[in-house]
Structure 1
Amino acid sequence: MWMESSVRSGASKFKQLRHFTAPALLALGLAACAGTPLRPVQKAAGAAQPLAHLVVATPDAEHDVMAQLLAGEMALGHADLKEASGHYQKAMALSNDPAVAERAAGLAIAVNDDAAAQRALDRWQALGAKPAGMAQARAELALNRGNAGEARRQLELLTDSGDKDAWRQFGRVLVGARDQAQAARLLEALATPQRLPGETQAWLAMSELGEKFGRHAYAVKIADAAVQRFRNAETYAWAAQMKFKDGDRAGARVLLQKALAKTPKDARLRLAYAGLLSQAGDYAGAAGLLEQGPQNADIYAMRAGLAAHEKNAKALAALYQELQKAAPAVRTANAYLLGQLAEMQHRDGEALAWYEQVGDDDIHAFDADLRSALLLHSQGRVAEAHQMLEQMQLSYLNQPAQLRQAWQADAELYLREQKYAKAEAAFSHALQVVPDDPGLLYDRGLTYAQAGQIDQAVQDFQRLLKIKPGDVDASNALGYTLADANRDLPEAKRLLSAARAAKPDDPAIADSWGWLQYRMGNLDQAAQTLRGAWLARKDADVGVHLGEVLWKLGRTQDAQRVFDEVRKLDPHSSSLQETLKRLHP
């Protein structure tokens, strides 16, 4: 939009200098050749050549415009603005081209060389600078010097110049100012409803700039004034955004309705309005709005999200069918969403087929591959799942975020298979990508604990607590691991006491505390705590713990009933099988 081209950082305004083309340099060089001192080339000794009577003169480097321009470009290529500025100062002195003086001025301002900037500006003006460009540069220099009065005078000249880009240049000057508070004051003083031009984008840009500078009241004032003056979809939409930021959702909805009335097919406005409706809890209204009118990938995705949030299986199925019947190009563009919709309806085979169609250049390519690997594993195609993840680990070697996810997914699948050594290795690879990541340390610690490698588990949990002192989940994990291994019970008690104080109603922490009481020989207290945890959440491991404590109390029938419930929850519970072997040697 207008703001994207009008408001840029001070560094970015010299990007074009780094892309000076050879023809442009040649043009600048030729424009100055007439005034360049030349020296004759020495004639070679010996017989006279046919062209010996001609004298070819070439300038030395210090007096060669082309040489200075090329040197300046090379310096810009190395991001050395100071050296580039020096070369452009020399080129300016040799050239009669105002473009060279303009660039010399811009570079001098960028490196805060006020004296050089003043010389370049004077030279540029003498060579016929356009008033708007000159005012912009002099305003930049004045702001660099902290001279607000002169900056204001030049900015007034700029905005009164009638130049079609005047207000865009005005925004650039303010964004590039070192003193943003001063720039904000100038914005409010000069970009008023009385002075702004008859162009919607200029008003919106100034309002947006006010918001960037933290002058919200000014941004709202300009947005409201723009609505009153133009009454078009763009001004209604921007004013609605201001209302929303102020918490006035009702006001924002009214303005978005007006914007949509102006451009009912505008996908961006429909999405914004649907977002407001959904935040207000009107999911049906949001879905109905999006179903009407032209569709795009974002609208399809939001419709799916709304249906999933409402657990509306009928709407999900209808959207899936609608997309399946769409044109081939639409299906291809939405292949990832089609895969997700198929998964939601438990059509795993179809989901895999859709994910296969997601292109390598699609922003969802990684996610499609990851979902495919998980689906393959759930279908029992374990080797294929790990093979796909291994390929992803190679493909995304230079993309840390994706590489970490690929290793983590591999580890979690190995955990499901109870292949603890491979799971630990995969978690370790992920930790090489993001060292000391709390989530990975936690998961690897749990993996070590399940594998019976208690020392390694304790090390990971202790390391995690150094990174996140007092973390409740880490404290619970370490406390439980120590209690389960029947070692350092006082430390386990300290950790679990702190975890219970932080989350007194957490069933997982209650389970850990009850198991600690069992290890400490407090069977009645252990049974009471574990029964509470079991009633709060029917988790297989909690049930196994409660059953074992009841068994040790001699309440074997009660214990057997709990074990039967656990067997229904998880017929393949390894902890239940191990416990029963101990209790029935």
Structure 2
Amino acid sequence: MAGCDRNRQVVWRNSVLSGTVKFKQVRQYVAVGLVVLGMTGCAALPNRSGPASPSTPQPLARITVATPDLDHDLLAQLMAGELGLAGSDLKVASQAYGKAMMISNDPEVAGKAAALAIAIHDPDGAARAIDRWQALGATPAQLAQARAELAVEQGRTDEAKHQLSLLLASGDKDAWRLFGRVLIGSRDSALASNLLESLATPDRLPPDPKAWLAMSQLGEQLGRHTYAQQLADGAMKRFGTADTYAWAAQLKLNNGDRNGGLNLLKQAQVKDPGNIGLRLTYASVLGQSGDYAQASKLLERGPQNAQTYAMRAALAASAKDNKALEQVYKQLSQAPSDVRESSAYLLGQLAEVLGRKEDALKWYDQVSDDDDHAFDADLRTAILLQDLGRSAEAHQQLAEMQTDYLDQPAQLRRAYEVDADLYLRDKRYAEAIDAFSHALQVVPDDPDLLYGRGLAYAQIGKINEAVADFRRLLKVKPDDIDASNALGFTLADAGRDLPEAEKLIATARAAKPDDPSIADSWGWLQYRLGHLDQAVEVLHSAWENGKDADVGVHLGEVLWKQGHHEQAQQIFDQVRRMDPKNSTLQETLKRLRP
């Protein structure tokens, strides 16, 4: 028992009096001390010298733990700075790091404070931060870079040039990279360009092709094309690597010298035939020029990866070469597992193009959830299911997508739109309207969605709703020719507001004089206006040019009304052979021959 006071003193000293203990640790040790005292029971033991005075406080009761204010709490300032950065509030972040650097001995904190002060255009704060950084041990290269950035920010050309020269003379292995960072971050491109050309000269650049290329690329980005080309040509002659040839080729292509660029790319590829990136670049340029065959041959040789297969497929598709597509599909489907897995979406696309819909479904099912094409793969799956007559599965797939992408408006809108389009295919217009309406809740006033829903309304005879959607669309997008035609036809078909219909269709016809659907609208309007001869002339021309089923039905009806029943019947028979289930034909025949 005699040791109880000593125990208290040990806990007291260890927990509170140590001046080197951090604040959070102090609070923790106090709590531990209380637990220890409670467990030993010392506080309940009688005092040997007599009863304890009730007014005498326990030792711990006299302890005061000092709590630093926020301005002097390093952790609080660092957290405030990071929260400011996370919220893109650079001013708050700069203020917090400015306070943090004064109570921290970490040079990185001062360096970050300097960078933030420069970023918010606070020259005084930046100067203080740089001085603090120097005091804490920043390297000469770091200091020169920061002071150069500040000088560039303030437009002090001579000082910027001086500091950049110090940076390049510092011997730092990253000096040229830091030099580039200073210039690329400048708001004054003219100043940055002048500094680049005056300091990054061939006689000062190190014997490293990467540095030459980096400065040439920086010059190109700053608009100094002549300087960029000179450095590129110099690097090519001095080092002769495939990369220097490739960059010099790119510059020639950028400046419109296609032949010169292709020649250099060819030489680069010869220097490094196994470089897949070079082959892809060379093939891409050839493909852009329409030389699909040569581009394909180039890519067929040498190592293959997901990118080469993808470009080969694109080239074959551009050339409409199904044989080449078949070859790519076969090779890719037998490629190593990692290539197949990363190319599952491409394999699905190729299978679709080649008419292998069941195979396409299997490939799309293998597209991983973190693949950039995951959404598209799910969408194509739904469309393929519909094509294969599995409509219920298609809509179930889209329903699941509408749940999965509930927090992604662009994808959610697309899932609803495809759902609506598939319902339209099946002439399930009520469900299509419902899907379009859900999509419009996600993206109100979307022109494509309004157009689709307007068509669906018109199909079930809800003319007022159809007209409302088309008019709303034209208010959002007044120059939408298809909407003008759709509204004009809907009004003409309903026999209402014919002057407005005539104006709308005339506008559409002037914009697209050869469009058969617009010609159909114009001919149908003439029929509604009682101009049968003109209607027949327009509709007959549209029918001959396009053989569209609805145009044929309209032409047949006008001929019937003129009494040319035999001619009309011939047209109806042709439409029936084209589209046996055409609902417009069926409805028209019921009216004409009740």
Larger Rg: 2
Query: Partner of 1:584 in structure 2?
Result: 593
SS at structure 1 position matched to 2:503: helix
Out of 536, 540, 545, which is 2:545 matched to?
Answer: 536
Q: Report the CA distance shift for 1:129/1:352 in structure 2 as closer, same or farther (over 3 A).
A: closer
Q: Work out the CA distance in 2 between the residues paired with 1:88 and 1:408.
A: 49
1:100-139 superposed matches below 5 A: 100-139=109-148
Q: CA deviation at 1:201?
A: 2.3
Q: CA deviation at 1:511?
A: 1.1
8 Å CA contact 1:473–1:499 kept in 2: the answer is yes
Q: Which amino acid aligns with 2:74?
A: Q
Q: Which amino acid aligns with 2:80?
A: M
For the pair 1:279 / 2:285, whether they are aligned, the reply is no
8 Å CA contact 1:68–1:88 kept in 2: the answer is no
Query: Partner of 1:3 in structure 2?
Result: none
Q: Report the CA distance shift for 1:208/1:528 in structure 2 as closer, same or farther (over 3 A).
A: same
TM-score (norm 2): 0.84
Q: Report the CA distance shift for 1:521/1:179 in structure 2 as closer, same or farther (over 3 A).
A: same
Q: Report the CA distance shift for 1:46/1:115 in structure 2 as closer, same or farther (over 3 A).
A: farther
Q: Which amino acid aligns with 1:169?
A: L
1:243-262 superposed matches below 5 A: 243-262=252-271
Query: Partner of 1:78 in structure 2?
Result: 84
Q: How big is the alpha-carbon RMSD for the aligned residues of Structure 1 and Structure 2?
A: 2.7
Out of 321, 333, 342, which is 2:330 matched to?
Answer: 321
8 Å CA contact 1:76–1:84 kept in 2: the answer is yes
For the pair 1:342 / 2:348, whether they are aligned, the reply is no
For the pair 1:202 / 2:211, whether they are aligned, the reply is yes
1:36-75 superposed matches below 5 A: 61=69, 67-68=73-74, 70-75=76-81
Deviations 1:208-247 (A, max 9, x none): 3233333334333333332223221212222222222222
Q: Work out the CA distance in 2 between the residues paired with 1:471 and 1:349.
A: 38
Q: CA deviation at 1:60?
A: 5.1
Q: Report the CA distance shift for 1:326/1:84 in structure 2 as closer, same or farther (over 3 A).
A: closer
Q: Work out the CA distance in 2 between the residues paired with 1:96 and 1:75.
A: 17
Q: Which amino acid aligns with 1:389?
A: L
Q: Work out the CA distance in 2 between the residues paired with 1:103 and 1:369.
A: 45
Q: Work out the CA distance in 1 between the residues paired with 2:91 and 2:381.
A: 53
8 Å CA contact 1:415–1:447 kept in 2: the answer is yes
SS at structure 1 position matched to 2:496: coil
Q: CA deviation at 1:458?
A: 1.2
Query: Partner of 2:273 in structure 1?
Result: 264
Q: Which amino acid aligns with 2:78?
A: G
Query: Partner of 2:26 in structure 1?
Result: none
Q: CA deviation at 1:513?
A: 0.8
Q: Report the CA distance shift for 1:341/1:76 in structure 2 as closer, same or farther (over 3 A).
A: closer
1:99-498 superposed matches below 5 A: 99-498=108-507
8 Å CA contact 2:84–2:93 kept in 1: the answer is no
8 Å CA contact 1:355–1:372 kept in 2: the answer is yes
TM-score (norm 1): 0.85
8 Å CA contact 2:193–2:222 kept in 1: the answer is yes
8 Å CA contact 1:323–1:338 kept in 2: the answer is yes
Q: Work out the CA distance in 2 between the residues paired with 1:442 and 1:564.
A: 31
Q: Work out the CA distance in 1 between the residues paired with 2:153 and 2:558.
A: 77
Q: Work out the CA distance in 1 between the residues paired with 2:77 and 2:303.
A: 54
Q: Report the CA distance shift for 1:469/1:165 in structure 2 as closer, same or farther (over 3 A).
A: same
Flag the structure with more relative contact order, 1 or 2, with Cα contacts below 8 A and sequence separation at least 6.
1
Q: CA deviation at 1:525?
A: 0.7
SS at structure 1 position matched to 2:547: coil
SS at structure 2 position matched to 1:495: helix
Q: Work out the CA distance in 1 between the residues paired with 2:330 and 2:442.
A: 41
8 Å CA contact 1:73–1:84 kept in 2: the answer is no
Deviations 1:287-319 (A, max 9, x none): 111111111112212222222233322222222
Q: Work out the CA distance in 2 between the residues paired with 1:524 and 1:248.
A: 59
8 Å CA contact 2:280–2:299 kept in 1: the answer is yes
Deviations 1:485-541 (A, max 9, x none): 111010011111111211222222111111111110111111111111111111111
Q: Work out the CA distance in 1 between the residues paired with 2:296 and 2:183.
A: 42
Q: Report the CA distance shift for 1:544/1:115 in structure 2 as closer, same or farther (over 3 A).
A: same
For the pair 1:571 / 2:580, whether they are aligned, the reply is yes
Q: Work out the CA distance in 2 between the residues paired with 1:508 and 1:213.
A: 50
Deviations 1:421-457 (A, max 9, x none): 1101111112222222222221221111122111111
Q: Work out the CA distance in 1 between the residues paired with 2:130 and 2:338.
A: 55
SS at structure 2 position matched to 1:78: helix
Q: Work out the CA distance in 1 between the residues paired with 2:320 and 2:90.
A: 58
Q: Report the CA distance shift for 1:47/1:491 in structure 2 as closer, same or farther (over 3 A).
A: closer
Point out the more displaced range, 561-570 or 218-227. 218-227
The unaligned stretches of length 5 or more in structure 2 are 1-19, 21-54
Q: CA deviation at 1:153?
A: 1.6
The unaligned stretches of length 5 or more in structure 1 are 1-32, 34-44
Q: Report the CA distance shift for 1:462/1:59 in structure 2 as closer, same or farther (over 3 A).
A: closer
Q: CA deviation at 1:93?
A: 4.7
Q: Report the CA distance shift for 1:454/1:116 in structure 2 as closer, same or farther (over 3 A).
A: same
Q: Report the CA distance shift for 1:177/1:566 in structure 2 as closer, same or farther (over 3 A).
A: same
Q: Report the CA distance shift for 1:73/1:563 in structure 2 as closer, same or farther (over 3 A).
A: same
Deviations 1:328-380 (A, max 9, x none): 34333322222222222222222222222222222222222222211211121
8 Å CA contact 1:335–1:357 kept in 2: the answer is yes
8 Å CA contact 1:69–1:87 kept in 2: the answer is no
